[in-house]
Amino acid sequence: MQQINLQQAKVAVIGAGTMGIGIAQLAAMHGHHTYIFDADAGKTRQALEQLAVQLGRRVQAGKMTQQLFDSTFAHLKAADALQQLADADLIVEAVVEKQEVKQRLFQQLAEICPAHAIFASNTSSISITAIASVIPHPERVVGLHFFNPAPVMKLVEIIRGLKTSCAIADALFALMASWKKVPVTAKSTPGFIVNRVARPYYAEAFRALQENVTAPEQLDFIMRECGRFAMGPCELTDLIGQDVNFSVTQSVYQEFFYEPRYRPSLIQKELVDAGCLGRKSGQGFYDYSQTPPAPQYALPVSYAKSAAKLKVLVKGGWLHSQGLIQRLKQASHIELSFAESPKDEICIGAVSLRLSLGESAAIDYADEKVALMDWHADWANAKALPVTASACCAQEDRHAVDLLFAGMHVMPIWSKDHAGLYALRTIAMLVNEGCEAVLHNVASEQDIDAAMKYGVNYPQGPFEWAEKIGYSIILQTLENMYRIYGEERYRPSIYLRRKAASGQGQQEQQLKAAG
Q: Which residues are known catalytic residues?
A: 124, 145, 157, 195
Q: What is the DSSP string of 7-55?
A: TT--EEEE--SHHHHHHHHHHHHTT--EEEE-SSHHHHHHHHHHHHHHH
Taking CA 435 as the corner, what is the angle to CA 431 and CA 439, rounded to the nearest 5 degrees?
175
Residue 99 CA, chain-centre distance (Å), reads 25
Beta carbons of 231 and 471 less than 8 angstroms apart: no
* Rounded Cα–Cα distance for residues 267 and 203 (Å): 10
3 state DSSP class of 403: helix
* Rounded Cα–Cα distance for residues 490 and 449 (Å): 21
Q: List the helix and strand counts (H, then E) for the chain.
A: 21, 15
Rg value, the chain, Cα? 26
3 state DSSP class of 319: coil
DSSP 287: B
* Rounded Cα–Cα distance for residues 144 and 71 (Å): 24
Beta carbons of 78 and 35 less than 8 angstroms apart: yes
Beta carbons of 202 and 245 less than 8 angstroms apart: yes
Phi/psi at 104 (nearest 5 deg)? -65, -40
Q: Per residue in 263-290, is it b (16+ CB within 10 Å) or e — as a string?
A: bbbebbeebbeeebbbbebebbbbebee
- Residue type present at position 397: D
* Rounded Cα–Cα distance for residues 265 and 237 (Å): 13
